[in-house]
Structure formats: C-alpha cells, structure tokens
Amino acid sequence: MNIESFMPHRGKMKLIEDIVEVDKDHCLARATPTPDWPLYSPDGISAIIIIELIAQTTSAFVGWRRRHEGPLGGAGFLVGIQKAELHTRYLPVDTPVFISCTRSLDMDNYGVFDGRVQTDELVCGTASIQVYNP
Amino acid sequence: MTNPVWYHLKGCACDSVRWEGFFHIPAASPWFDGHFPNNPVLPGVAMLGMVQDLLRKSTPQVMVKGFSRVRFRHIVRDNANIHVRIVPKANHGTNRYLFEITGNACLICSGTVETDNPQQGEMGI
C-alpha cells in the first residue's frame, strides 16, 4: 500500500513506512526509528515521538477512509492532546514499532483518535489526540 | 558529517519556580523537511520536545511521563522565535508542570507535563 497517497508527510518527517492493516474502525502502521529521526540521541529516540507517530497514523487512517468512504471530517491539524502516557524514555533505533489508531469521536470537522505504540515486547506509550480540519 | 540543527536555544533561565527558554527554529530545520511540502508547519511534537529539553537543562536525567490537556492554538512557521515557560502546577504534588509557548505576542500552545520526579532549578545561560 502506497502510504504517501494517504498522508501529506514527506522527507525526514515521514516516519510511518507502511500500513499493516486498516479498515473503517482502526489502522495499524509500522515504523522503524533511525538516527535521522527527530529527538534522536545516542540512547535512542525520545519517547515523545510517540505523539507524532500516532498523529501520522491518524493522518493515514483518515486518508484511507476518505478514499474509501468519501469526504470525512476529523482530519487535518493536530489541535490537542487529551492525554499522553509514556512508558519508556526512548524508542530503540532499528527496532520496528507498531502504531495502532482507533477513532473515538468523529464530528463534522473535528475528531478524537486513540493511539498506542508498541514493539514486539513493550507498549511504549499511548495518546488520545484531537485533530481539526479547517 | 555535522549534526542537523533542529532549533537554536537563544537563552534560558531556571530556578525553583520556573523554567524559561527562548528558541529560534530556522527555515533549514529538519522539522520542516516534509512537514509539509511547500507549507512549512512546526510539528506539535517539536514544541513538546522543547519543553522536555528545557526541563533537562536543570535535571538532565528527568523522564517525561506524559502530557495532558495540551492545546495547539496557532501554527508556527519556519524562522520562528518562540518562548517556552514552565511553572509547577499548584496542588498536584511536585512532578506536574504547566507550560505555555508564546510567539509574536500570541499563545501558541499550553498544557501540562508530568515528570518522574521533582525538578531542580538554578541555572541559566
């Protein structure tokens, strides 16, 4: 699946590399941290990046739904974080992470999406984000 | 190979009751590399990273455990100057802090950050 057809992120700031599965209710994406990522240090990638991973997965999720279901609200700019919990200091470099995203609220031009980032062994963090499509 | 400059910290000051930092985000910052093509917008996570970096100026090993009630109110473009201010949150123990990010006399972002232990202050550059 060509993820670039569903999201606007490019270059260094395109962190998601693939959509693993997606349907009208959820999306699962994959990414592999590298030293080129934002918030990199020799210890790894600061776990704060989890919020961007969830935002990008949400963007791809809504892009996919637009393609399959027609115009939708709820995608666009990140306007808020209701709550984010980080369970680790760093994401390890070169270890794939999986990002799941579900919609918890869809309105005309506003949406709330719940996301989780995990490796094969560890839930790294969760966040509930708010997006607005002006 | 030189490391990319994500932002410039122009100055900061920390004591036991507040952390303040002045940041410049140049147009060449990798934060704008593809975010978005022909429409540079500073990612919200970049601002949260600056909050973390400012806290680490006084306590380098601090762990950010989470954020809550974060509102992004204005877009930040390239070549921006922003001011980050963090203060302890009243009546919530000693590991929750309110932060505000301002620029061009506007409130850009606000929220609460939670850390793993109380912060230490008293430094500046």
Domains in chain B, CATH or no CATH each:
8-120 (3.10.129.10)
Are the Cβ atoms of B30 and A89 closer than 8 angstroms? no
Name every chain A residue with its beta carbon within 8 A of the beta carbon of B71: 79-80
- pLDDT for res A58: 95
How do the domains of chain A map onto residue ranges?
Answer: 3-132
Q: Compute the distance between CA of residue B125 and CA of residue B109 in angstroms, rounded to an integer.
A: 24
Element (H, E) at A19: strand A18-22
Q: What is the pLDDT of residues A95-116, one digit of tens each?
A: 999 999 999 988 878 899 999 9
The pLDDT score that the predictor gives to residue B119 is: 60
Q: At a CB cut-off of 8 Å and minimum separation 6, what does B83 contact?
A: B20, B21, B22, B23, B101, B102, B103
In chain B, whose CA is at the least distance from the CA of A54?
B45
The per-residue pLDDT for range B10-49, each reduced to its tens digit, is 999 998 789 999 999 999 999 999 999 999 999 999 999 9
- Joined together, the tokens standing for residue A61 give 């999720």
Residues 6+ apart with CB under 8 A from A83: A127, A128, B66, B67, B68
Neighbour count for residue A117 (Cβ, 10 Å): 28
pLDDT at residue B125 above 70? no
Gap between the Cα atoms of B72 and A130, Å rounded = 10
| Cβ contact B44–A55 (<8 Å) | yes
Q: Has domain A3-132 been given CATH number 3.10.129.10? A: yes
DSSP-assigned states of every residue in A82-112: EEEEE--SEEPTT--EEEEEEEEEE-SSEEE
Q: Which helix (H) or strand (E) segment is A56 a member of?
A: helix A49-69
- The ipTM value here is 0.94
Cis preceding-peptide flag for B36 (omega within 30 of 0): yes
